[in-house]
Amino acid sequence: LPLLLLGTTVTASPAKPHSTVVHLTTSNFETTVITDPNNPLWLLKFFAPWCGHCTALAPTLDKAAARLSGKLAIGKIDCTVEKQLCKGRFDVKGYPTLKYYRDGEFSDYPLGRDLDSIVKFGEKMSQNAVEVVRDVSEVYERLVGGEKGAVAYVVYDPIEIDQQEADATTEDDDENESDSSEEEEATKFIQSTERTRIFGQIARKYQAHGSFGLLSPSIDKASIAKILGVGETNKLPSSAADGFIARIEEDVPTKFLTGDGITVDALAEFIRETNIAVMTELGGHNFRFASRRGKPLAIGVYNPEDEVKTLKFRKEMKQYAVSGEHKDAYVFGTMDGIKWDKFVSQFGITKAGLPEVFILDSPERTYWQDSSVLSVADFIRSVKAGEIESRLQEKKPKNPLEEFSQLFISYMPWSLFALLTLFVVVFWLALPSSDPILPPVPSVREEEEEQESKKDK
């Protein structure tokens, strides 16, 4: 009853931002999530009551909902009850599944499930998608590295702007460095050309997977070269003088999208193909995202307790990911072999053998592993040459009790009815008979013997 009342309240009067986790159902989902202008950004948890990870996540989401009120609303959907939502609409396959909603689209939540990560996600997604940057330091302070993420995109369009308007903007910034003035400036620049307008549109769509910046039109060419890290070995395309969009990552050559005919589809494709670090740290929050990019994963497993070997191994992995012979054939990542020991043990990897690299085609459940090949380059070369054969990943056997519990809850209330029926039948069979106890019926032989005995007497 309380849950139903909560759902009814949210549906009837979505008058203000939510500060608690909202119970969502099939009946209130549209009005609560889709059409409520006071809560345009949502984080949704699809869960099952028997799921231990779901239960552990609940207090974190309660705290996040209170801290992010007005920026990010949080909702939960019980998939053992709301099957039409979970299976029919969102094809949920595991618990908990986290998705976010904004601008009419649902997407997989890409960050960690700890409180800090969820709060940072909510704060980032509630801000302007594009920041205006004027020099090298601002790019690396505001866009790349640390909490911002490994990958950033910048747009440059050498438009002519009225100097007085530029001076007025500068004066406003000096007097009042508020978020609103920065957002107004960014909005003005984003709307200035077709290239920047397309960039702003796509930046909002992919804001969860990267940082986006607009290079001020007044920035000098020397600063642009430093920002992009261009030089003799990584030259700026000749067409970039008329404007460009670039992907930036520390210690990785810059990638450019140039030309006058940049379209929404072309930019979206460019970002989809490049919005993951050349070598990313893999975990529960991003493994699905990394493993569903149309390429197998090349995973370097390390032991964090051995800092010297780990540092050398990570450097070797990244060097191959940047310039190796088959760098474009894989998505490269590293993984903590101690934290994820149960996962990597499926592939024959042990703590004693770390660091080690293996290749996993997750959708096909196929992997390549050989502990005797130590070099990253040699291992990948051997895989490509067919010297290391593929193996099929075995499915992990399910705990029978856990599987029964999942099935029981999934088929409620019919499973409960069946169980009660079985209990009643067993109980009835166990009851003592209420019929009177009758003497056994004598056999024919016994009757004949009795008659002969009477005659003799």
Enumerate the β-bridge partners of residue 245. 155, 257
Contacts of 239 (CB under 8 A, 6+ apart): 258, 259
Q: Which of 149-163, 167-181, 350-364 has the lowest mean pLDDT?
A: 167-181
Q: How far apart are CA 255 and CA 228, in angstroms?
A: 9
Q: Which of 98-102, 232-236, 333-337 has the lowest mean pLDDT?
A: 232-236
Task: Please tell me whether the peptide bond between 413 and the residue prior to it is cis, using omega within 30 degrees of 0.
Answer: yes
Helices and strands: H and E segment counts in the chain: 18, 16
pLDDT in tens, 49-99: 999 999 999 999 999 999 999 999 999 999 999 999 999 999 998 899 999
Residue predicted with more confidence, 401 or 354: 354
Question: Helical H runs in 371-430?
Answer: 376-384, 400-410, 414-430
At which residue do the structure tokens 């948890």 appear?
A: 45
Residue 433 has pLDDT above 70, yes or no: no
CA distances from residue 423 to 405, 407, 408, 419, 428 in whole angstroms, order as listed: 17, 18, 15, 6, 9
**Beta-strand (E) ranges in 83-222?**
97-102, 105-108, 130-133, 152-156, 211-215
Mean pLDDT, the chain, whole residue set: 83
Q: How far apart are CA 262 and CA 202, in angstroms?
A: 12
Q: Residue 104 has what pLDDT?
A: 93
Share of the chain above pLDDT 70, in %: 75
Q: How far apart are CA 275 and CA 261, in angstroms?
A: 22
Contacts 24+ apart (CB under 8 A), 305-308: 305/338, 306/354
Residue 383 has pLDDT above 90, yes or no: yes
Residue 152 has pLDDT above 60, yes or no: yes
Q: Residue 426 has what pLDDT?
A: 72
Q: Residue 103 has what pLDDT?
A: 93
Q: How far apart are CA 319 and CA 334, in angstroms?
A: 13
With beta carbons less than 8 A apart as the criterion, state whether 327 and 320 touch. yes
Nearest to 442 by CA among 450, 432, 434: 450
Residue 314 has pLDDT above 60, yes or no: yes
Confidence of residue 450 (pLDDT cuts 50, 70, 90): low
Q: Residue 231 has what pLDDT?
A: 56
CA distances from residue 133 to 218, 221, 224, 367 in whole angstroms, order as listed: 10, 14, 11, 44
Report the predicted TM-score, pTM, of the whole model to 2 decimal places.
0.75
Confidence of residue 260 (pLDDT cuts 50, 70, 90): low
Confidence of residue 400 (pLDDT cuts 50, 70, 90): low
With beta carbons less than 8 A apart as the criterion, state whether 211 and 152 touch. yes
At which residue do the structure tokens 């990958």 appear?
A: 151
Residue 161 has pLDDT above 50, yes or no: no
pLDDT in tens, 164-205: 344 444 444 444 455 556 677 777 888 888 999 999 999 999
What SS3 class is residue 441? coil
- Phi, psi at residue 358, to the nearest 5°? -140, 165
pLDDT in tens, 6-46: 333 344 344 589 999 999 999 999 999 999 999 999 999 99
Mean pLDDT of 383-403: 78
| Helix pair 52-67, 115-125: axis angle to 10 deg | 50
With beta carbons less than 8 A apart as the criterion, state whether 96 and 46 touch. yes
Alpha-carbon Rg for the chain in angstroms? 32
